[in-house]
Structures are given as structure tokens and as C-alpha cells.
Amino acid sequence: ESASKGKYRHYMLKEIYEQPDVIRNTLQGRIGKDQILEQAFGTEAKAILDKTKAVQIVACGTSYHSGMVAQYWIEGIAGIPCRVEVASEFRYRKFVVQEDTLLVTISQSGETADSLAALRLAKTLGYASTMTICNVAQSSLVRESDLALMTEAGPEIGVASTKAFTTQLVALMLLTVALGRRRGLNKESEAEIVQALHGLPTLLEETLTLDKPIHKMSEAFAEKHNALFLGRGAQWPIAMEGALKLKEISYIHAESYAAGELKHGPLALVDAEMPIVAVAPNDELLEKLKSNLEEVQARGGELFVFADKASGFSSGEGVHVISVPHVADVIAPIIYTIPLQLLSYHVAVLKGTDVDQPRNLAKSVTVE
């Protein structure tokens, strides 16, 4: 067992470090110099994408968070209505099926009971087509969906999902561009996205070098009982995923909020005992995020900010800033996932928990 962990102490850390390679593999054969290679999505893809007028995403856990990022992308870049819901809710409520809607399940294992039940239900409800974004080729979700866009993350052993999540985001960006092409996303914009994707593995490698300062930062969390994660826009689901990672493996209660919601409740919780983690890459929302963070500081909260080099954040009294490489907006959610994974990993190691097999959790939840 330890042999396959290679030089790493835990599978989770190994899987975090595999991300540049598995993302390269997920992009392999699917992007050309300036455009996505849609043929690689499968022979059925063209007809299905041509008729798609809306998208409904269904998933659980970490995979649900990648779906939430995709909602920002599919509506914001492709211009198609997109909804996203956790499978356990979707399968038990009444809802309206819009015409020509593509149902997309997202799953590492392809066997999650709620996601599979949601797919089976959707087939009886008049969805135009079904697609899965999945990491296991022989899985039930792949077998039972019209279309499968595989993530090439390789086997993921750590219960807390890492590389499956970022490869899902890559696959979802490819889907976004494929849908966008049909809605006026022009060649120049497609080329910009594709170029950003080409640069992604190297930027991920660069981001992984933040491991040491993040390790140091993790000491501030080990004795804490609560933490708040903040982001805005497509970074909000990244903050949610960061909070989930910390909960899963360090057993610290962590919550995530869209930063603009702070004043509507969570600000009441802020004091010196509540570390606040913020992801701050987005130029467009940066100023707004900054003023949210000033409110936190004014109430004595200690801030841990992952910020774009050019964002003008600097460390000081009660503020710890880690500079993240400057990246294009479209790939920022993928990049900012990395420091949050590393943070939860190091906090868990400090706390001495079973990082790869956290208590009460299973890698694949195949029963309801």
C-alpha cells in the first residue's frame, strides 16, 4: 500500500500533487491550438449539443461543487440557462422540466446512489438527453447516460476528493465552450479560453510550490473549532469546497458564505477565535471582496487570504496573505482550489486525524 503512495505520506497529498498531470491527461486530444476538439466528446455529442437549450446538473458532495462552478460558466460564458441541484433533493421533489434540457450528472465514482437514482428518474421525465462527467469508465452512470465525458484523474483513493474535482472542472469548461459555440461564443473568446487551458498544468505546478507557506499557515487552525470560508462569483463554490475539505479531514466546523452575505448573519460569529479564509483572485469583484474583508477585520477576525499577486493585499496585523500566480479569470477557480486543499491537508496532519480515511465517511456512497 505505501509503495503506491510513492514518496508521499498520504494518498491525499499524492493526489493533490498529481493534478498538473491528470489535468494534462483530461485535456489530451480534446483541445487543439485555439479551439476545443468536440469530436473527442463522442459520436453522439454533436446532435445532443445542437439541440440543448438548457442544462440541469445533478451531483453530490464535492462533485456538486464543481457543478456550482459550472453554473457560473454555462450561464456566463455559454449563455444557456443552467440549474444545479444536489441529487438527494432533486430525486424527491417536484420540478418543472424545461424543453430541450440536457441533464448532466457529475461523479467521481459513477456509482453514487442518489446521483444514479436522479439519472434514472430524469429519463422518465422528458429530459432531452443525459450526459455524465465521470472518472470511472465501467460505472453505472457511464453505462446509463447518452454521453460520457470522462475525467482522466486516475484512481482516487483518498476519501476527500481532490484531483477528481479539478478534472471535473476542466471537463465542465470544455462542455461550456462546446455549448457556447452554439450561442455566439466567438472564435477569439474560444481561443482565449483554450490558451488558458493550455497554460493550466504549468500554473498548477507553480501553485503547488505554495505548499510550504500554507503548511506554516495551517498551524493557526489546528486549535480552532470553527472557520469561515469566503468567496464571490465562481469562487464561492471554491470556498464551499475548501470548507468541505476542512470539515471532512480535520473535523473542524467550517462554513462557507458568498462574501456579500456576511452582513446578513455570519458577521455575528466573527471574533478572534474564528479564522476567516478568503479566495481573492477576481478583478471584477475584488474591490467588493476587500470591503467585505475590512468588515471582518474591524470585528477582530483573523484573515487568511489567497490573493492574486496583483490584487494589492498585503500581510499585516491580523491579515495573512499568500500570493497566488496571476491567472485568467476562466481558470481561476481551478487554481484557487489547490491552496485550500493543501490547507485542509496540513491542518488534518497537525491534528493527527486519519487523512485518507476520515471517520464516518465513505469514498463511494452506493446506498441511500
Strand residue runs (E) in the chain: 54-59, 82-86, 101-107, 129-134, 147-150, 226-231, 253-258, 275-280, 302-308, 319-324
How far does CA 245 lie from the centroid of its chain?
A: 11
Site string for ligand G6P, 36-65 (x = CB under 6 A): ------------------------xxxx--
Q: Does 361 bind ligand G6P (CB under 6 A)?
A: yes
C-beta closer to ligand G6P: residue 160 or 321: 160
Binder of ligand G6P out of 19, 71, 109, 130 (CB under 6 A): 109
Least distance in angstroms from the C-beta of 86 to ligand G6P: 10
Q: Does 112 bind ligand G6P (CB under 6 A)?
A: yes
Q: Which range of residues in 89-97, 154-162, 222-230, 298-306 is near ligand G6P by CB under 6 A? A: 154-162
Closest Cα partner for 144 from 176, 179, 105?
Answer: 105
Per the CB < 8 A criterion, the answer to whether 278 and 270 are in contact is: no
Q: Return the residue matching grid coordinates 452554439.
A: 182
Which long-range contacts does 146-150 make (Cβ < 8 Å, 24+ apart)?
Answer: 146/44, 146/48, 147/41, 147/42, 147/44, 147/45, 147/48, 148/42, 149/41, 149/42, 149/174, 149/175
C-beta closer to ligand G6P: residue 323 or 364: 364
Least distance in angstroms from the C-beta of 223 to ligand G6P: 26
344-365 as b/e: b if 16+ CB within 10 A: bbbbbbebebebbbbeeeeeeb
Binder of ligand G6P out of 52, 71, 101, 108 (CB under 6 A): 108
Residues noted as catalytic: 363
Least distance in angstroms from the C-beta of 55 to ligand G6P: 18
Name, in order, each residue with C-beta under 8 angstroms of 89's C-beta and a sequence gap of 6 or more.
none
Least distance in angstroms from the C-beta of 176 to ligand G6P: 19
* Sheet strands side by side (includes 302-308): 253-258, 226-231, 275-280, 302-308, 319-324
Binder of ligand G6P out of 102, 148, 159, 227 (CB under 6 A): 159
Q: Does 353 bind ligand G6P (CB under 6 A)?
A: no
Per the CB < 8 A criterion, the answer to whether 339 and 231 are in contact is: no
Least distance in angstroms from the C-beta of 197 to ligand G6P: 22
Binder of ligand G6P out of 71, 129, 140, 161 (CB under 6 A): 161
Least distance in angstroms from the C-beta of 109 to ligand G6P: 3
C-beta closer to ligand G6P: residue 129 or 161: 161
Q: Does 115 bind ligand G6P (CB under 6 A)?
A: yes
- Binding residues (CB under 6 A) for ligand G6P: these are 60-63, 107-109, 112, 115, 159-161, 361, 363-365
